[in-house]
Amino acid sequence: MGSTRLLAFLVLMSCGDKDSDTDIDDTDVGTHTNSDADTDTDTDADTDTDTDADVAVNVSWYDDGLVPTDVNGDGLPDINCDDELTLDITDALGRTSWNFGIAEVGPNGWTGEDCVFGYAMWNYCHPVIGNQLTLDETTDCAIDGVIEGATTLFDSRMEFTVTYYLEDPVSGDCWVWGANPSYYSGLGCRPPL
């Protein structure tokens, strides 16, 4: 029994508070509180869980510069369908999977590529793998030429009249910007950086 008490005493001495007193009477064993315990209330720790503020985007349009001409002979200039849009995403969290949408809001506007609401029977959404996407304008300027992640009905003339949508498909976080972000109101989206 004496060796058990000696072992307990040695354990308490080696693990106990180095700043405390060292008397070893039986009433002190196991009831001593460490008065110099770490009470650091580090208020500068990052507790931000708002991940949607960590995304920056850049959309650039390429206009081939060709002036539409009357190709079909009807006396009207034909639409030139070979512009392109490039989306670049900078994400502090390193995400590499996205959904990208474009909407032309207003009368006769094309919303079939908006990723959310669609247009009649069309509801396209452009997947982005990585942090860049290039969409070519459809070669025939027709709805049936839209291919998700590859082609769009939009052209460079619409650069300042469209609204953009970006979604993280894993978390559901979304960002909207452009001509009419209120088109996506109610979804909880925020503007990108």
This prediction's pTM = 0.67
Q: Are 167 and 187 in contact (CB under 8 A)?
A: no
Please give the pLDDT value at position 181: 97
What gap in Å lies between CA 169 and CA 145, rounded to an integer? 25
- The pLDDT score that the predictor gives to residue 164 is 98
Cβ-in-10-Å burial (0-12, 13-18, 19+) of 159 comes to: middle
What pLDDT score does 76 carry?
A: 57
**Spans in the chain with pLDDT lower than 70:** 1-53, 64-81
